[in-house]
Structure formats: C-alpha cells, structure tokens
Amino acid sequence: MEYMSKEKFEEAEIIEKLRNKMLKYIVYKKRSEAEIRQKFAEEDENMVEDAIEYFKELNYINDSVYIERAVKEYMALKNMSIKELSYKICQKGISKSLVDDYICQNKESMLEYEISSAKAIILKKQNSSEEQEIRDFLFKKGYMSESVSIAFDEVK
C-alpha cells in the first residue's frame, strides 16, 4: 500500500476544499465559466483551472446550457429585443460567437419572442405616446425594424 506524502495530502485537501466551495457557488445559481473564474480569481490559478475542468467533465459548467437557460429566463420575465438579450448574456462572460450561434439555431422562436415583446411594449405605451415615439423607443432598445413593423401591424 502506497502512502501519500504530507505535502501531497495537504494539497489534496486544499483542492477538495476549493472544489466544495466552487460546487456550492455553481449549485446555488447556474454560472458561466467566466463568472466562476472571476469569483475564484484569488485562488491558485492551476487549482482553479483543474476544478473548472473537473466540473466541466461533470457538466456542472457548460456555457451552452447556461445560454439556453438564461434566454428562457429572460423570455419568461422581460420584454427585450434579441440584441438586448444577447448583450445581457455576453455581460456574463459568455463569448459573443456562442450567443450568436444559439440565436441562429433558434432564429424562429427568437424572432417570435422579439415581435411579441415589441407588441407588449406598444400596447403598454400606445395610450400615452405617439406611434413615432414608440418606434424610436423600440429602435433605441435594439429591436429590428422588421419586428417593429410586424408588431405594429398585429396591434392595429
């Protein structure tokens, strides 16, 4: 039977503690890889890297799944343009190309969401604002002109 040196044992304990802290952080709320790196920036870089790889293998860290969940959350809770949604997710440290890939793969449902979001905003603002003001507001928020036009047509 092989025994671990005291140094190896202490290092293993430190790694285990880091993994436990990281797991609690991940399980409390789904996080992007960048958010995890930022949170544990003070820790030993190699140990953080090993822990992240470990959790990636277990699929606890998966930016593609994170994007899907974040999009569904935003769609359920807020009226946003596709551009706004993309920006919010990129702020979490997700690569723009990964977000763009998701949007392209789900183009149909994303466009439907943007149009229904625009309609909700139009309905909310139509009694207190002129049509051009509402259009300007939607454009400023990143809505595509096609989505805005369709939304106005469907509201009328």
Total tally of structural domains belonging to the chain: 2
Residue 3 is predicted with a pLDDT of: 66
DSSP 8-state secondary structure symbol assigned to residue 137: H
Tally helices (H) and strands (E) across the chain: 9, 0
Q: Which pLDDT score, from 0 to 100, does residue 2 have? A: 60
Are both 46 and 88 inside the same structural domain? no
Amino acid at 67: I
Q: Which of 61, 85, 106 is the last residue of a domain?
A: 61
Task: Name the CA dihedral angle for 88, 135, 140, 145, rounded to a multiple of 10 degrees.
Answer: 70
Query: Over its length of 156 residues, how does the chain's per-residue pLDDT go in tens digits?
Result: 566 677 888 878 888 999 999 999 999 988 999 999 999 999 999 999 999 999 999 999 999 999 999 999 999 999 999 999 999 999 999 999 999 999 999 999 999 999 999 999 999 999 999 999 999 999 999 999 999 999 999 998
Short-list 38, 40, 37, CA closest to 21 = 40
State the pTM of this model.
Answer: 0.83
**Does 55 share its domain with 19?**
yes
Q: Do residues 53 and 80 share a domain? A: no
Task: Specify whether 89 is located in the same domain as 143.
Answer: yes
CB 40 within 8 A of CB 95: no
91 and 47 co-located in one domain: no
Give domain status of residue 114, yes or no: yes
Domain that residue 12 falls in: 6-61
Same domain, residue pair 70 and 121: yes
- 69 and 54, same structural domain? no
What confidence score (pLDDT) does residue 5 get?
A: 79
Q: Using CA atoms, how far apart are residues 2 and 105, in angstroms rounded to an integer?
A: 52
132 is a domain residue = yes
d(Cα 11, Cα 66) in Å, to the nearest integer? 31
